[in-house]
Amino acid sequence: MHIQPKQKQKATLTRAAFAGLVTANPPHVLKQSEVARRAGELFGGNLASFDRLRPVYENAEIETRYSSVPIEWYQEVHGFGARNRQYIETAVDLLEEVAVRSAEQCGLGLDEIDGIVTVSTSGIATPSLDALVMERLKLRRDLDRLPIFGLGCAGGVVGLARAAQMARGRPGANYLFLVVELCGLTFRSRDFSKSNVVATALFGDGAAGAIVGSEIDGAEIGVSREHTWEDSLDIMGWDVTDDGLSVVFSRDIPTHVRTKMNDALQTFLAEQSLDLADIDHFLCHPGGAKVLDALEGIFKLPEGGLKHSRQTLRDFGNMSAATVMFVIAAAQRDGLKGRALLSTLGPGFTAGFMTVDL
């Protein structure tokens, strides 16, 4: 017996929206020029190819980043346990801040929160971060909880999509959507790999929060999709080592974006009977300057057209999953209105897409 595959039907989405988007950073400011100088001291005598890699600091198009630890910390040796304790302490502090501010902006009391979705891939917490925040803020005991780990930079859009799905399934409920990444804590001073050097030029720390619900007065969340490419598991991720998480970066990421992302994007748009001309704004995770160059080509934008993504990269660096939320916040501060396409790229290798009506 042959069963015919079901034809995809365009479903009518129950309304979901987000509001009260806020961002936060830890207190230590890292200037790229100072990072480059310190990296030269650390790597120069241990990595023969460092002089060839030195331009990565300028080419990253980053001026400022934020860190949960002072810059001197990065020149010391730290075990996995010490790193992770710092991760949990700082992550919960930042999530407490954005959760309280987000609820206040929406005029909600903390007792009106019905669920919590927390995204992070730069450390490990069990009990998970959502449970720790729940205890810190004395939230209700009957919350829906969803901790999300492993999505890396894709976590901002994919995590927001999961929060929207939960909100659509429980009309009237208010979900805290929280993202925190402390990428700097993964730096390992004895790792002289090219990927580790690139990470010192790129990564920063940050957090974001918003309220997601079916009755929230805010930016309406449209359709979301993911695309995970075959044979791409080695493009991005972590290797777990005795002294921490070792970053995995493929030099082919920009090439992969240029040659393969457009097909996934066009499939996503076609499912909604849209094309690029129907998108008013492109709000993308700024994985790096070369990735933004590739995305501008795909979106048929002029050089520098991804204004808010480039501004965020310049001022905060790559904060993994949190970064796209900073990009959205920058667009909202500028008063952007209309249909926006959100996009992210992360381990898997996975692209996340979402349309939002700002």
Mark which of 172, 198, 213 sits at the end of a domain.
Answer: 213
**125 and 227, same domain (yes or no):** no
Kind plus residue range of the DSSP H or E element containing 137: helix 129-137
**184 and 266, same domain (yes or no):** no
pLDDT in tens, 245-288: 777 777 778 788 888 889 999 999 999 899 999 999 999 999 88
Mark which of 213, 241, 267 sits at the end of a domain.
Answer: 213
Amino acid sitting at position 151? L
**263 and 324, same domain (yes or no):** yes
* Distance in angstroms (rounded) separating the CA atoms of residues 123 and 240: 11
**30 and 162, same domain (yes or no):** yes
Task: Identify the CATH number of the domain in which residue 293 sits.
Answer: 3.40.47.10
**275 and 322, same domain (yes or no):** yes
Kind plus residue range of the DSSP H or E element containing 67: strand 64-67
Domain assignment present for residue 1? The answer is no
Confidence class of residue 231 from pLDDT cuts 50, 70 and 90?
Answer: confident
The reported pTM is: 0.92
**190 and 225, same domain (yes or no):** no
Mark whether 153 is an active-site residue.
yes
Split into its structural domains, the chain has a count of 2
**153 and 298, same domain (yes or no):** no
Domain assignment present for residue 12? The answer is no
pLDDT in tens, 136-177: 999 999 999 999 999 999 999 999 999 999 999 999 999 999
Domain assignment present for residue 257? The answer is yes
pLDDT in tens, 19-38: 999 999 999 999 999 998 88
Domain assignment present for residue 253? The answer is yes
Domain assignment present for residue 140? The answer is yes
Taking residue 271's Cβ as centre, other Cβ atoms within 10 Å add up to 13
pLDDT in tens, 74-83: 888 888 899 9
**29 and 93, same domain (yes or no):** yes
**3-class DSSP assignment, residue 270:** helix
- pLDDT reading at 7 higher than 50: no
The residue segments making up the domain with residue 263 are 219-357
Average pLDDT, the chain: 91
**Which long-range contacts link 270-277 to residues 24+ away (Cβ below 8 Å)?**
271/8, 271/10, 271/223, 271/225, 272/10, 272/222, 272/223, 272/355, 273/10, 274/355, 276/300
The residue from 106, 153, 183, 284 that is catalytic is 153
* Distance in angstroms (rounded) separating the CA atoms of residues 89 and 29: 18
**35 and 172, same domain (yes or no):** yes
**35 and 181, same domain (yes or no):** yes
Domain assignment present for residue 5? The answer is no
Domain assignment present for residue 283? The answer is yes
**229 and 337, same domain (yes or no):** yes
E strands present in 122-254? 144-148, 174-182, 205-213, 219-228, 236-241, 244-249
**249 and 319, same domain (yes or no):** yes
Mark which of 184, 213, 242 sits at the end of a domain.
Answer: 213
